[in-house]
Chain A
């Protein structure tokens, strides 16, 4: 057993309201640069729907992820190493801009510059790729349910598969009653196929926290990773000629802050914590023959941080004590392993994804309520879960490689939680049989409810600080996107003036200061700010120490 730590996320889909705030804040942070206009490290898809890029889940076409070869060993779906090198000159199997969309802006200047006349001037859409007039016809969430999903959701590859397999004709009308949002970031997989397909070896997994990054200096633009990733979460920066991907906001994670998408989530539907897992078993788990067993295999990799043997092994393998403590309090461990309500997205891709989802129950409740039933009464809810085959099958295609039993288990637990807690809320005696029906106790249900419904910031995000005995190793190892004009370029001041001296890592400069202020009792952070003050981080409140040179007498 070799223990490693992995920072992971759980998204509780019932709570996503589809507001796209996460996408926007992420974009403002990481991909608001030329070359990344079409890049959404975080995107929110209406499901059923095609996703982004369009129909990325159709692996017969895009060939992402792993499969088992005849001897039962893992093999990239795009082919072996020689095969990869032989097709490197054109890499025909990967999305083109048309499969994403052509990014555009508006010719706002014409609103101001147009000569006075009878007609109102219009700001015409201009392509950010060619600079020419363009017709806006698709974008990252064009088939959002508030936009245009009617008519295009039939193209959803998952729906297509279910329809192919089901005997009776399914009416789209019926499917449409079941709609939810699926926010997606890079899965920071345990067995990433993007990494395996990178000819340069530029993509790496950090030993300390499992974050998967692209070394911008080592990437040579062979763009094999884009084919390799089944989630299509590696994007090609067409200006720099390098691959870029979600960074799990590592500069924030290193100082114990949640990712930007999580921090700004309006529904508060994201949880971040760490797993301890056994690296030596990853390949074996990913090679599980039956795709339906992959979820269990992945769950088995996650080690129990309360088990003394695990703790001893973790200490032996150099996991710091506060990380082990954090693993014990990890909300992701609780949701995925203790309560078993969080499931991996598309385990059948065999990459062992580390963003987990609690499937949505609300659409079923809504449906019942719409039909005039009591949507939260246990009999109705349990009955509906069993009766509503399509939602169950659809969710199973997403989260359990088609195993509907596991989805039913999870939804039953969520239904039980609703029904059980309704009695609590209404001050009625609780019905323990509801809890027993799903193999839980009332206490467990209450704990799960607490975590999912009312957990505060520091319970939703349990992120131990990076361990940096010497602070200058607080890196942003080769990955960072803080190249000229990149998001991380902060002002740095050394002895020889602006820009001189050893660069101060962004993580230290900005995020430590922010964190200190956010968590300090005093809004100016007087007690904790030390040394110089970055005026960009100063919000004008008070006079933090370091704003002016220290007085002689203190």
Chain B
């Protein structure tokens, strides 16, 4: 019998997070198109961004791909096609470790840039800060897990614990026992990851959901007719679900106000 905590963490939390992720994304997509952007800071600084951002993004996309392979493809399938457990792990650790490291270096550079470049720091909202904490936490926990599995041989094999649990979630029959058997680092990483997905729709990370793959297929020149375009979306859009992220008038509320404030206190 799994403990209540196990049930809460591995049977309830995942579904909560998925529901928040899906409903939150739909809601945001419907009510906050205007806030749906990368909020690029390239205009302020591009030298460090040029290194950090591709390093991080290519890294994280590789990591995401690795997760899909590791979590979705059952161990029995890879053994069936003749990939030994040992070989699999060496490849997984090498590629996963490299991608994870690139991601971590990239995000470290990005955060350093964010802190040290005045305008970029000014443009960092509290939302961004929370997002960075959760994101970096998830990445760091993930890398830690990888390191543990290299050096600590007592650690469980995630393909026998985490992966079956993960797959069982999708058939609405969570294999709580399997996950409960996983070692602590895996558990921390999994919970952290779930939290990341839960906050995802409410941060700037939504930009990843609209990755512009359709660019490869659309015609170069876009014509739009007024008439064909039902309704009048731009004409005083419906009240937004909340104030769009990052569109607050910082010069009015921020800089100008701040400078006068400072002066008047002197």
A residues whose Cβ falls under 8 Å from a Cβ of B: 33-35, 37, 81-82, 84-85, 87-92, 94, 96-97, 105, 107, 109-110, 113, 126-132, 191-192, 195-196, 198-201, 203-208, 215-223, 236, 238-242, 282, 466, 468, 472-480, 482-485, 488-489, 492, 503-506
Contact = CB atoms under 8 A, between A and B. Distances in A.
Nearest to B247: A240
Contacts of A88: 212
Interface string B38-67: 111111111001110110111000000000
A89 B247 CA distance: 22
A482 B236 contact: yes
Contacts of A204: 222-224
B122 A130 contact: yes
A477 B226 contact: yes
B220 A196 contact: yes
21 contacts: A34-B249, A35-B247, A85-B213, A89-B56, A90-B42, A90-B51, A96-B43, A105-B256, A110-B263, A129-B118, A129-B119, A196-B221, A203-B222, A206-B224, A220-B38, A239-B123, A240-B37, A241-B39, A475-B235, A477-B234, A484-B243
A126 B257 CA distance: 12
Contacts of A130: 118-119, 122, 255
Contacts of B54: 87, 89-90
A483 B35 CA distance: 11
A94 B41 CA distance: 12
Contact of B38 (A192, A195, A221, A472): A221
Contacts of B227: 473
B260 interface: yes
Given A131-B122, A208-B225, A97 B43 contact: yes
Nearest to A81: B216
A475 B122 CA distance: 35
A477 B51 CA distance: 38
Contacts, number: 218
Interface string B223-266: 11111010011111100100110111111101110111001101
Contacts of A219: 37
Given A89-B58, A201-B222, A240-B246, A109 B259 contact: yes
B44 A207 contact: no
A97 B44 contact: yes
Contacts of B234: 215-217, 475-480, 482
Contacts of A192: 221
A85 B220 CA distance: 14
B266 to A, nearest CB: 8
B34 interface: yes
Contacts of B57: 89
A103 B103 CA distance: 34
Contact of B236 (A35, A242, A503): A503
B42 A91 contact: yes
A85 B212 contact: yes
B33 A218 contact: yes
B254 A131 contact: yes
Given A220-B38, A238-B123, A480-B235, A131 B33 contact: no
A82 B258 CA distance: 45
B218 interface: yes
Given A33-B249, A239-B251, 20 more contacts: A35-B247, A81-B216, A82-B216, A107-B263, A132-B118, A198-B215, A204-B223, A205-B224, A206-B224, A206-B225, A208-B226, A216-B234, A239-B246, A239-B247, A482-B235, A483-B247, A484-B243, A484-B244, A489-B236, A504-B235
Nearest to A91: B42
B236 A126 contact: no
